[in-house]
Amino acid sequence: MKLNQARIPLVLAAAFAATLPNTALAYIGPGAGLGAIAVTVALVVGVLLLLVGLVWYPLKRALKKPKPTGEIKSGSE
């Protein structure tokens, strides 16, 4: 059991090192860069609108007060 406890810091250090960014030896042009930013923004806005549609509108409908209905009049009067 003591051997496993000694490996925990080593495993955590390896996991941390695996997540460190590496240098990308690549170039992205201005058009592709702006396109990538636009797609990212569109995805974020789309997810937010999806959440609004799935949560807000049913909640709004449930909280809305029902309209009072008038008395039903018969046509024989």
Tally the domains of the chain.
Answer: 1
The answer to the question of residue 20 being in a domain is no
Phi/psi for 4 (5° steps) reads: -65, -40
Decide if 19 is inside a domain: no
pLDDT in tens, 39-65: 999 999 999 999 988 988 888 888 887
pLDDT band, residue 16 (cuts 50/70/90): confident
Domain annotation covers residue 57? yes
- The answer to whether position 16 is within a domain reads no
Q: What's the rounded mean pLDDT across residues 4-20?
A: 84
pLDDT value at 35 more than 80: yes
How many Å from the N-terminal Cα to the C-terminal Cα in the chain?
A: 92
pLDDT of residue 30: 93
Q: Is residue 23 part of a domain?
A: no
Boundaries of domain holding 56: 29-63
- pLDDT value at 32 more than 60: yes
Task: Tell me if 40 is assigned to some domain.
Answer: yes
